[in-house]
């Protein structure tokens, strides 16, 4: 595919307008062709106006057409094949295997969401039939989840496919029946354009109204801020840093009409290794933890940033073994120069920090050297800033004296995940930790590692603030569709004006709650 370096406004290309920038190969520091022209305010206005104009028509399409659209996007992405994988690896320094896996996940995610739309019950249709004889007459009341309107999607830097232009947020918003205006990540504009072209092609094939998809490519925070502030945008979703997320959240809520804003900002993802687990399968835990900390150069929002281990000899051995493993992992380039610089600065600061001890750091070669630090629970509880995320392949082992300290750490701050490794004999401690974690995380794991998220109906990738700005939602899994919808109620509305899922006789064949009972047959 010949890259144009231009944004996509519905079915058109933007004409060269804003400043020029290039993608950079993080392995070499060399710039990559072609030049990208930053979208300007006019491009943005056009994209949003088109999206708003298309919202009614898109919402009203038979859902089979939305299903086709999502599946066609998956097919178009796959047909890009090697060219896409190459561009991803050039722009992000991620490995080819990772890029291939992510493309597969992205396509599967689109098909997973297509399946949810096809099955149709996610709309939570409810019907309470009327009764004219009751005094006063009982109205006919029906409700279901309906789309919000144009959604602004912010691409994540660390998932150039699965949480970028054609990623989970775009797919969920489209699945729910909303037009999207996507704000590309400046760090992989070529990948973004390729995916944008694939979506535009899919839209044409599935005969989706012009403006349901637009892609704004730019550098710097301006376009994103203006997009969230735009009065015709009705919701926004973001995955990235806490600073970026909170700035956009502030814009979303200080608009004349505040809108739902879903910011996914990660955190420390504590992993508790209980004594019997360590004794019974210590080697596997060390290997698993090291892989989870260093996989994809630690650039996952669920990377374990805190590892909680009891004081004493057994724990000492874990620290030594984990240090050996992490310190022995080769340094590797990160997503871009800014992220690498930031990682180096944070690791240097920790190295100089008297409150923590550096256990190990990989040396040699360019890029980010995986690092392991250690401190004790008293220090962490007295210095909660030590729990702050270090984006990259570093983690902090925290040694606790008592379970109460571990419980206090579990309750410190909202997180995406909390993990417990429990062996035979750890049952009581594990139960108490799980109960403490439940109030503070979106996902509790046992005997596993938080990275590597299963895309399935039950997955929750969200959590209480500051893990996200809206802890009642998830960006992965079946429930991701729901956050781009709201319940709308139809009281005594003629059948011809009802959405298909609420019509008499259930022509959609979805599960509905009719007069309180779940049924597919009425």
- Residues 422 to 481 in contact with a second copy, rule: CB under 8 A: 422, 430-431, 434-435, 438-439, 441-448, 452, 454, 456-460, 462, 464-466, 469-472, 474, 477-479
Instruction: Give the integer Cα–Cα distance in Å for 450 and 507.
Output: 41
- Per CB under 8 A, contacts with a second copy among 231-260 are 253, 257-260
Binder of a second copy out of 352, 354, 494, 507 (CB under 8 A): 494
Strand 371-376 and strand 357-361: the pairing is antiparallel
- Per CB under 8 A, contacts with a second copy among 58-77 are 60
Strand 141-147 and strand 517-519: the pairing is unpaired
Task: Note whether 387 and 316 are within 8 A (CB).
Answer: no
Active-site residue, 155 included? no
Question: How many residues in the chain?
Answer: 522
Binder of a second copy out of 20, 220, 488, 509 (CB under 8 A): 488
Longest dimension (CA), the chain: 83
CB 440, min distance to a second copy, A: 10
Closest CA to 21 of 190, 224, 165: 190
Catalytic residue chosen out of the listed positions 68, 102, 301, 389: 301
Q: Work out the number of other CB atoms within 10 angstroms of the CB of residue 395.
A: 29
Residue 192 or 248 having the CB closest to a second copy: 248
Catalytic residue chosen out of the listed positions 68, 91, 193, 264: 264
CB 506, min distance to a second copy, A: 14
DSSP assignment of 302-348, as one string? T---EEEEESSHHHHHHHHHHHHHHHTSPPB--SSHHHHHHHHHHHH
Give the list of residues 6+ apart from residue 283 with CB closer than 8 angstroms, or none: 321
- Per CB under 8 A, contacts with a second copy among 169-198 are none
CB 497, min distance to a second copy, A: 5
Kindly determine how many residues on this chain lie close enough to bind a second copy according to the rule CB under 8 A: 76
Residue 397 or 460 having the CB closest to a second copy: 460
Strand partners, 398: 308, 375
Binder of a second copy out of 24, 34, 78, 139 (CB under 8 A): 139
Interacting span for a second copy (CB under 8 A) from 14-22, 373-381, 400-408, 512-520 = 512-520
Q: How far is CA 122 from CA 68, 133, 510, in A?
A: 18, 33, 9
Residue 136 or 364 having the CB closest to a second copy: 136
CB 487, min distance to a second copy, A: 5
Q: How far is CA 81 from CA 3, 78, 107, 118, 362, in A?
A: 15, 5, 11, 26, 34
Three-class DSSP category at 230: coil
- Per CB under 8 A, contacts with a second copy among 108-127 are 115, 119, 121, 124, 126-127
Residue 18 or 464 having the CB closest to a second copy: 464
Using rule CB under 8 A, residue 408 touches a second copy: no
Binder of a second copy out of 138, 204, 330, 401 (CB under 8 A): 138
String of b and e for 100-122 (b: at least 16 CB within 10 Å)? bbbbebbbebbbbbbebbbebeb
Residue 318 or 445 having the CB closest to a second copy: 445
CB 338, min distance to a second copy, A: 28
The side-by-side arrangement of strands in the sheet containing 213-216 is 12-13, 8-9, 213-216, 180-183, 151-154, 235-239, 261-264
**Strand ranges for 68-135 from DSSP E:** 125-128
φ, ψ for residue 302 (rounded to 5)? -105, 10
CB 252, min distance to a second copy, A: 11
Active-site residue, 72 included? no
Task: Note whether 258 and 246 are within 8 A (CB).
Answer: no
Task: Note whether 449 and 472 are within 8 A (CB).
Answer: no
- Per CB under 8 A, contacts with a second copy among 367-406 are none
Q: How far is CA 283 from CA 73, 118, 254, 322, in A?
A: 42, 45, 51, 9
Convert residues 6-45 into a mask of x (bound to a second copy by CB under 8 A) and - (unbound): ----------------------------------------
CB 340, min distance to a second copy, A: 28
Binder of a second copy out of 136, 364, 505, 507 (CB under 8 A): 136
Binder of a second copy out of 36, 159, 278, 490 (CB under 8 A): 490
Binder of a second copy out of 18, 120, 149, 369 (CB under 8 A): 149
- Per CB under 8 A, contacts with a second copy among 315-374 are none
Convert residues 259-278 into a mask of x (bound to a second copy by CB under 8 A) and - (unbound): xx------------------
φ, ψ for residue 337 (rounded to 5)? -65, -35
Catalytic site positions: 264, 301
């Amino acid at each position: 595919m010949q890259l144009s370096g231009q944004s996509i406004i519905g079915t058109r290309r933007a004409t060269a307008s804003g400043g020029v920038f290039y993608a950079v190969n993080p392995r070499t520091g060399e710039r990559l062709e072609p030049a990208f022209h930053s979208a300007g305010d006019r491009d943005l206005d056009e994209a949003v106006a088109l999206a708003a104009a298309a919202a009614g028509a898109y919402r009203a399409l038979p859902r089979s057409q939305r299903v086709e659209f999502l599946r066609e996007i998956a097919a178009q992405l796959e047909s890009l094949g090697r060219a896409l994988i190459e561009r991803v690896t050039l722009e992000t320094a991620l490995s080819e295997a990772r890029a291939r896996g992510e493309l597969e996940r992205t396509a599967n995610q689109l098909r997973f969401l297509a399946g949810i739309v096809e099955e149709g019950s996610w709309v939570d249709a409810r019907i309470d039939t009327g009764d004219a004889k009751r005094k006063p007459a009982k109205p006919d009341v029906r409700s279901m989840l309906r789309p919000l309107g144009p959604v602004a999607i912010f691409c994540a830097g660390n998932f150039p496919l699965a949480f970028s232009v054609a990623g989970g947020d775009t797919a969920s918003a489209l699945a729910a029946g909303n037009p999207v205006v996507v704000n590309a990540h400046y760090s992989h504009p070529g990948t973004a354009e390729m995916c944008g072209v694939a979506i535009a092609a899919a839209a044409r094939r599935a005969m989706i109204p012009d403006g349901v998809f637009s892609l704004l490519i730019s550098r710097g925070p301006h376009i994103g801020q203006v997009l969230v502030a735009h009065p015709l945008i009705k919701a926004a979703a973001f995955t990235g840093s806490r600073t970026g997320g909170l700035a956009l959240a502030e814009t979303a809520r200080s608009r004349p009409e505040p809108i739902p804003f879903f910011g996914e900002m990660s955190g420390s993802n504590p992993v508790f290794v209980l004594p019997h687990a360590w004794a019974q399968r210590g080697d596997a835990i060390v290997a698993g933890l090291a892989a989870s900390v260093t996989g994809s150069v630690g650039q996952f929002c669920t990377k374990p940033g805190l590892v909680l281990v009891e004081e004493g000899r057994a724990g000492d051995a874990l620290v030594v073994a984990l240090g050996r493993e992490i310190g022995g992992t080769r340094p590797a380039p990160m997503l871009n120069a800014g992220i690498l610089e930031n990682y180096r600065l944070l690791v240097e600061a920790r190295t100089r920090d008297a409150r923590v001890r550096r256990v190990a750091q990989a040396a040699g070669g360019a890029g980010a050297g995986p690092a392991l630090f250690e401190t004790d629970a008293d220090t962490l509880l007295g210095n909660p800033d030590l729990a702050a995320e270090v984006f990259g392949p570093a983690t902090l082992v925290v040694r606790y004296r008592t379970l109460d300290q571990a419980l206090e750490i579990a309750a410190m701050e909202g997180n995406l995940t909390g993990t417990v490794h429990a062996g035979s004999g750890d049952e009581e401690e594990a139960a108490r930790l799980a109960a403490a974690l439940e109030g503070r995380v979106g996902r509790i794991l046992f005997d596993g590692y938080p990275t590597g998220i299963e895309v399935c109906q039950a997955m929750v990738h969200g959590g209480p603030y500051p893990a996200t700005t809206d802890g009642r939602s998830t960006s992965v899994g079946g429930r991701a569709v729901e956050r781009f919808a709201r319940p709308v109620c139809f009281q005594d509305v003629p059948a011809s004006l009802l959405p298909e899922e609420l019509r008499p006789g259930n022509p959609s064949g979805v599960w509905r709650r009719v007069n309180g009972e779940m049924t597919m047959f009425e």
